[in-house]
Structure 1
């Protein structure tokens, strides 16, 4: 990783999120499907949103360090679920759509092991001083 971002946090740890890469320009992490499913044994849409918010928030916080506002607070998230996943690992990649002084917006694309898009999310974070 370009910078150390610390542990995924209690929820991220419980969900098995593992960060592979982190910079203001790109954040990548994986999450197992097992343990993160809804009653029909499919990846839970809320789990995809947790992964998306984790990725976007880290990207926004890393950008925030460059403008002396290192605290990122998610203020809006939207997600479109494209494909059901029953097993394996999903990978999320966050890239910036807007990086300002007080607000940052990231697009997060979640794919399955075949590279098929599972979910597309957009997260907007408020940037605050520590």
Structure 2
């Protein structure tokens, strides 16, 4: 399937309420690789730094969407594990996340996610594992 087809599928399905609130936009998508952006503004801690939980939401959004693209429209997926290491703060602009598939299995998928700031500096590294549920 073509990149444009995967992006069309995502747009047709729509994004979740949390993704909308946080301004997450998926700009590249396939089961093997996804790229998404998120503004720092509106997603900060009281002291003005990008909230670490916002990084985790961005990572989980990309990994979950990638798993759904791999699993197909008739399968449901759930995240079962996520972790993140925060390397550097972001205080302005946007962050960009690149999710790369580690494994795409019949029942489980795993992604590595690297998040960078506007200067291309790594701000966070995350990993998510998602379970693909049986069809009902």
Task: Report the TM-score range of the alignment, normalised by the length of the smaller protein.
Answer: over 0.9
Return structure 1 stretches of 4+ with deviation > 4 angstroms: none
C-alpha displacement at 1:94, in angstroms? 0.5
Q: Which has the higher helix share?
A: 2
Gaps of 5+ in 2: none
Q: Which has the higher strand share?
A: 1
Q: Structure 1 residues 122 and 49 mapped into 2: Cα distance closer, same or farther (>3 Å)? A: same
Distance, in Å, in 2 between the alignment partners of 1:2 and 1:23 is 9
Q: Which residue of 1 aligns with 2:35?
A: 28
Correspondence list, 1:1-130, <5 A: 1-3=4-6, 4-5=9-10, 6-65=13-72, 70-128=75-133, 129=135
Distance, in Å, in 2 between the alignment partners of 1:79 and 1:69 is 30
Which SS does the other structure have where 2:28 is aligned?
A: strand
TM-score when normalising by structure 2: 0.89
Two-structure CA RMSD over aligned residues (Å):
1.4
Which SS does the other structure have where 1:55 is aligned?
A: helix
Distance, in Å, in 1 between the alignment partners of 2:82 and 2:74 is 20
TM-score when normalising by structure 1: 0.93
Distance, in Å, in 1 between the alignment partners of 2:81 and 2:61 is 13
